[in-house]
Amino acid sequence: MNKEDLRIIYMGTPDFAVESLRALVEGGYNVVAVVTMPDKPMGRHGSVLQPSPVKQYAVEHGLKVLQPEKLKDPAFVEELRSLRADLQIVVAFRMLPEIVWSMPPLGTFNAHASLLPKYRGAAPINWAVINGDTETGITTFFLKHEIDTGDIIQQVRIPINDTDNVEVVHDKLMELSGRLVTETVDNILAGTVKSIPQDQFKEVPLTPAPKIFRDTCRINWEQPMKKIYDFIRGLSPYPAAWTTLDGKAVKIYMAEKYASSTLKPAGTLDTDGKTFLRVATTDGWINIKILQFEGKKRMPVTDLLRGIKIAENAFFV
């Protein structure tokens, strides 16, 4: 079988999943359908429906689109079966029931944005940066019952630079995923895949990557400078690390480490009122570059200081 005859069903929703779909389409692979989330209500009254980025790309390229509310819906399962897919590919989608992932004869594989088995879960890119990792990557693996635990097909690694925020790493991995997905398909077609069970990677720590909520993003200033710095860049630009000043939320989007022998209680603010705003940590300072006060726009700290005065001995909490 060649790639033009291989019937592929692709499943994905956000921007991250568009790149792999584009690589398949532009590479001449036979994508017979795309499965994505139902359109999301938008606007003040939810009267406008916003299609997912994957749906937008699929429609623009004349691909058949399926948008089931429930993946176990008998009508959806039957329509999926009628498409006679040889292979299913999942990138940034929902957890699939066995009746779906076990359907095609060549299986279903997922492209996950970590070096599995490390960072199983919903937010692997965020947690890799938050934890100060110096590398990450993309893993393709065959689906099985437990989420992100299937046999590994291929992995590709990239470095995480100390100045990279989660957006930079996301974009690097997004591009990488497109190349790895098509390479994985080619190897499945060639019959050269020798997948490896994840329990053979005993040297890899099983660090989780749970979904990130608002409370997850609150900064604890009673930590070392490097840990807080990594936390900020691991949540920038979205959903953004935050703290409070006088009971109001302050989001921090960009910062630098500032080593100094002068230490103050963690959370203490230091500023000249014009050019810098620093926050004390347990072993140094965080020099804030871009932030957003509640009710104001995101802006460089120099612009903010022109409009407000930070009280002496103020604290971030």
In tens digits, what is the pLDDT along the chain, a chain of 317 residues?
899 999 999 999 999 999 999 999 999 999 999 999 999 988 766 778 899 999 999 999 999 999 999 999 999 999 999 999 999 999 999 999 999 999 999 999 999 999 999 999 999 999 999 999 999 999 999 999 889 999 999 999 999 999 999 999 999 999 999 999 999 999 999 999 999 999 999 888 889 999 999 999 999 999 999 999 999 999 999 999 999 999 999 999 999 999 998 889 999 999 999 999 999 999 999 999 999 999 999 999 999 999 889 987 899 99
H helix count then E strand count, the chain: 8, 15
Contacts of 93 (CB under 8 A, 6+ apart): 11, 12, 13, 17, 35, 36, 37
The long-range contacts involving 258-261, CB below 8 angstroms and separated by at least 24 positions, are 258/225, 258/284, 258/285, 258/286, 258/287, 259/225, 259/284, 259/285, 260/284, 260/285
Residues paired with 251 in a beta bridge: 242, 292
Cα separation of 101 and 179, whole Å?
22
The structure tokens listed for 249 are: 């939320």
The long-range contacts involving 213-216, CB below 8 angstroms and separated by at least 24 positions, are 214/239
CB of 24 within 8 A of CB of 87? Answer: no
Nearest to 104 by CA among 9, 4, 32: 9
CB of 11 within 8 A of CB of 36? Answer: yes
Residues paired with 139 in a beta bridge: 112, 155
Q: Say how many residues make up the chain.
A: 317
Cα separation of 168 and 276, whole Å?
25
